[in-house]
Amino acid sequence: MHIRLRVKRFEAGKDREPYWSEYGLEVEATDRVLDALHRVKWHQDGTLTFRRSCAHGVCGSDAMLINGRNRLACKVLIRDVGDHIAVEPLRGYPVIRDLVVDQSAFFRKYESVQPYLVADGEPPARERRQSPAERERFDDTTKCILCMACTTSCPVFWPNPEYVGPAAIVNAHRFLFDSRDTEKEGRLARLNAGDGVWRCRTIFNCVEACPREINITRAIGEVKKALLLQKG
């Protein structure tokens, strides 16, 4: 089938304003949007710039705004978006070039929630025990691939880049509800700050954007509740 692909272009340090490039090309309805971008890059316009690696939705490289929604280009098929496709970079972070945004601020937020297990004491010789139910408790949030789709879909984040954002909260949740972790307080205190979890207004855009189908708003709600019920 024939499609019209429009891409919002920009090069930091060169362009003052973003502009649109338009391409016409033949694709299969079952091709990924990433395939279409590749076809353009490889056979029409080598200057078109985007990140990608795994091409099947597990590395988190290619989140972008596709027809007005944050998606992974490698996880949306042409037939799901139709023959008029408009692609833009994620909102809220500086664009380096075309569909590539600067991720450093995003990862600084992620790092700020201590996204790693802290377990007091010498570990046992074998594994720490954890029941299947305890393991299930945080399963959903272990799926995050840090693709940035959620945070950059959040209307609270757009005007306020200080908001720690759903992705960081998801990763804090992953450890807050892990029975082995002993560093709950520091993480909770971080999320209790002015740019923390209370900024979330239950908008659910993050959930709709998440390619891993994580129920992010639920995770955020559970963190809020944990703060609420925290002693002291």
Site for ligand SF4, residues 161 to 180, rule: CB under 6 A:
166-167, 170
Tell whether residue 59 is a contact of ligand F3S (CB under 6 A): no
Interface pattern 164-193 for ligand F3S (x via CB under 6 A): --x---------------------------
Residue 34 or 200 having the CB closest to ligand FES: 34
Tell whether residue 216 is a contact of ligand SF4 (CB under 6 A): yes
Strands 2-9 vs 84-88: parallel, antiparallel or unpaired:
parallel
Tell whether residue 16 is a contact of ligand HEM (CB under 6 A): no
Q: Quick check: 55 and 43 in contact, CB under 8 A?
A: no
Tell whether residue 205 is a contact of ligand F3S (CB under 6 A): yes
Task: Enumerate the β-bridge partners of residue 76.
Answer: none
Residue 85 or 170 having the CB closest to ligand SF4: 170
Q: What is the per-residue burial (b if ≥16 Cβ within 10 Å, else e) of 39-76?
A: bbbeeeeeebbbbbeebebbbbbbbbbbbeebbbbbbb
Task: Look up residue 128 and give its two tokens.
Answer: 């720490």
Task: Enumerate the β-bridge partners of residue 8.
Answer: 20
Tell whether residue 72 is a contact of ligand FES (CB under 6 A): yes
Cα separation, 26 vs 220, whole angstroms = 42
CB 170, min distance to ligand SF4, A: 4
Interface pattern 138-157 for ligand HEM (x via CB under 6 A): --------------------
Residue 55 or 105 having the CB closest to ligand FES: 55
Closest CA to 167 of 150, 152, 155: 150
Helices assigned H by DSSP within the chain: 33-43, 78-81, 104-112, 132-137, 139-142, 165-176, 184-191, 205-209, 216-229
Tell whether residue 201 is a contact of ligand HEM (CB under 6 A): yes
Residue 19 or 204 having the CB closest to ligand F3S: 204
Residue 131 or 202 having the CB closest to ligand HEM: 202
